Chains A and B, each alone.
Chain A
């Protein structure tokens, strides 16, 4: 057993090493030979995998604001143990997205321009500001975890004082940011395939990120419990799963009723790639996890919870890739598949993200050892004043 896990570890380490070497090589190619040499982007396909990954990174970071609002604003203290993993996930997600956005920019040295050159009519302008503001807020929200390790009490006190406005601002910026990725495509009615194009794109993006973000936390909790041989707090995760279930159903109802009302249902019966991808996305990301999570006994099985979180995340990834790539292929008239450099840089960032997450979890107090499952929300006098990630 021991040897086996040791081998497994080095195997994954080797894979990670190869990915990072390829990624660095690709990064060199991108910065010294340009986007044309390193990507399969073209005049017909100006956005590709990287934009899709930005959507995914930000969407999977959504637990950062949903859990913060549940615990700190609605005072549902039973979710307190997952505030820290949620905020750490969001923080890492945002850092990766910022890095990739800069890599994707044609003129990365000018990335700061939106700070001083304003066009308030642009969704891209809104997005830039949301990324900057919410990253700052995540830093403030996560800082106590780092500070407490070094016993720096004074700054923690200040952060606690401003914590409620910070949480509220964070929720507002996230809401705007999640939905604005959908708004990006409102301007291309003729180009985005009708199965995805709707006036409700921002709403769909917002609802779908809630289920995906929470599933990410379930996924991480399971992985973490396995890695550190801790028991998974099944009560808590299955409660999370219930919210995921409601969010999935809400998202499904909104999307399907919107399709019926705007008369786009017939697009479902045209046999073409887009239809298959759409059905795949709905099946993997909504139907299967809803069936798994609707059943209480399934919801309380560790493995099925884990499995359903993988389904939700995969379906979410499919959805964002469909909007960013699949849905635009027909109108661009060019088929696009990401280049080696695009894929290796993306994978490298994923590896960095996982690495950063496991390092922080290892050295800082992120997953509290003792879960508060026995404690009723009302009987928690100590945590009353303690806000943020503590």
Chain B
């Protein structure tokens, strides 16, 4: 089974808000804000549309719309940091959250390189909330609600490999319309939500200095030293105890010997 993914093409998005509304409806989330352009990711908003006013080299002004949602990383930071394994990357693509396991330490929120997970701060038994790539729909072979709703095909759903080919084809056909990179191909080890843009991604508020490799490696480098620290440390401390004890015993015997001679 191929991993599913989303491809968002900022050159096609008109900012109509269909994805935003479909997402709200699919997840039965309340609408505190009517304008998808003014809303922010929150415990009941899993995707928003952002408007970026961009001035290019020829001083042409334009508005570019882009989406924010969980990137469904291939090697997710949230999955690696969760102490109880409440976050899970499915083979199908979506990164899922299990509230029954969660203890509420919020390390996933702190660690996410895209700062996506949100919290039900008002609840006394809060959950972490974020896009789960419409897991129930995707499981049954349907596209995500946002992809189905998009009238401009700016968000499309499919196999990740195929979406990469589509993105490359689009860039090859209209090289003047695209910034020559797919965001999400390598970022933090790659994501299951891919982006195409007419301008460089930092102009759209995408973090420009994310490591190209998976983030969990940063921690694993240290974590894998633990067995060494424990075994070497244990042996060292044990032998130091024996050595210093022996040294004192010898000193004591010598002392006795000296006293006897006298």
Chain A residues packing against B (C-beta within 8 Å): 31-37, 41-44, 46-47, 69, 72-75, 104-108, 110-111, 113-114, 117-128, 164, 168, 171-172, 175-176, 183-184, 186-190, 199, 202, 377-379, 381, 384
Q: Which residue of B lies closest to A129 (CB)?
A: B83
Q: Which residues of B contact A (CB under 8 A)?
A: 41-42, 77, 80-86, 101-107, 109-111, 113, 115, 117-119, 121-126, 207, 209-211, 215-216, 218-223, 226, 229-230, 233-234, 237-238, 240-241, 244-245, 247-248, 251-252, 255
A275 vs B81: C-alpha distance in the bound complex, in angstroms? 29
Q: In whole angstroms, what is the CA distance A37 to B218 when docked? A: 34
Chain A residues within an 8 Å CB radius of B237: 69, 73, 168, 171-172
Contacts of A188 in B (CB 8 A): 110-111
On whether the beta carbons of B244 and A113 are closer than 8 Å, the reply is no
Across the interface, name the chain A residue whose C-beta is closest to B246: A75
Of chain B, the residue at the smallest CB distance from A76 is B244
Asked if A187 contacts B111 (CB within 8 A), the reply is: yes
What are some 24 contacts across the A-B interface (CB < 8 A)? A31-B124, A33-B124, A34-B126, A35-B119, A35-B121, A42-B121, A43-B42, A43-B117, A47-B110, A73-B237, A73-B244, A75-B245, A106-B102, A117-B85, A123-B222, A123-B223, A124-B82, A168-B238, A172-B237, A183-B222, A187-B81, A188-B110, A190-B209, A378-B251
CB pair A46 B230 closer than 8 Å: no
- Would A123 and B81 be within 8 Å (CB), given that A43-B119, A183-B223 are in contact? yes
- Cβ–Cβ < 8 Å partners of A37 in chain B: 122
Q: How many residue pairs between the two chains, A and B, have CB atoms under 8 Å in the bound complex?
A: 167
Which B residues are in CB contact (< 8 Å) with A172? 229-230, 233-234, 237
* Given A106-B104, A168-B237; 8 other pairs, CB 8 A cutoff: A34-B126, A72-B241, A118-B84, A119-B84, A119-B85, A172-B229, A172-B234, A199-B221
Beta-carbon contact of A122 and B230 below 8 Å: no
Contacts of B106 in A (CB 8 A): 46-47, 106
> Contacts of B245 on A, CB cut-off 8 Å?
75
B41 touches A43 (CB 8 A): yes
With A74-B240, A114-B103, A190-B113 already in contact, the answer to whether A106 and B126 are too (CB < 8 A) is yes
Known contacts A37-B122, A69-B237, A119-B85; is-contact A113 B248 (Cβ 8 Å):
no
Given contacts A171-B237, A187-B219, contact A75 B244 (CB under 8 A): yes
Closest B residue to A47 using CB positions: B110
With A114-B83, A171-B237, A176-B226 given, is the CB distance from A106 to B103 under 8 Å?
Answer: yes
Among B207, B211, B230, B241, the most chain A Cβ lie within 10 Å of the Cβ of B241
- B105 to nearest A CB, angstroms? 6
Complex Cα distance A72/B240, Å? 10
* Interface class of chain A by DSSP: helix
B123 & A34 in contact (Cβ 8 Å cutoff): yes
With contacts A34-B126, A119-B82, A121-B216 taken as known, whether A126 is within 8 angstroms of B223 at the C-beta atoms is yes
Residue from A110, A118, A187 whose CB has the most chain B CB atoms within 10 Å: A187
List the A side residues contacting B221 at CB < 8 Å: 186, 199
- Measured in the bound complex, the distance between the Cα atoms of B85 and A118 in whole Å is 7
A153 and B211 alpha carbons, distance in the complex (Å): 59
- A75 proximity list for chain B (CB < 8 A): 241, 244-245, 247-248
Contact A122 B124 (CB under 8 A): no
Contact among B109, B218, B233 with A186 in the assembled complex (CB-CB below 8 Å): B218
Residues of A within 8 A of B103 (CB): 105-107, 110-111, 113-114
Q: Are A44 and B115 in contact (CB under 8 A)?
A: yes
| B211, A35: Cβ atoms closer than 8 Å | no
Contact of A43 among B109, B223, B244 (CB under 8 A): B109
Closest-CB distance, A44 to chain B (whole angstroms): 7
In the complex, what distance in Å separates the CA atom of A330 from the CA atom of B119?
A: 21
Chain A residues contacting B85 (CB-CB under 8 Å) are 117-119
Max chain A CB contacts within 10 Å: which of B119, B216, B238? B119
- Report whether B252 and A378 are in contact in the complex, using a CB–CB cutoff of 8 Å: yes
B34 CB to closest chain A CB (Å) equals 21
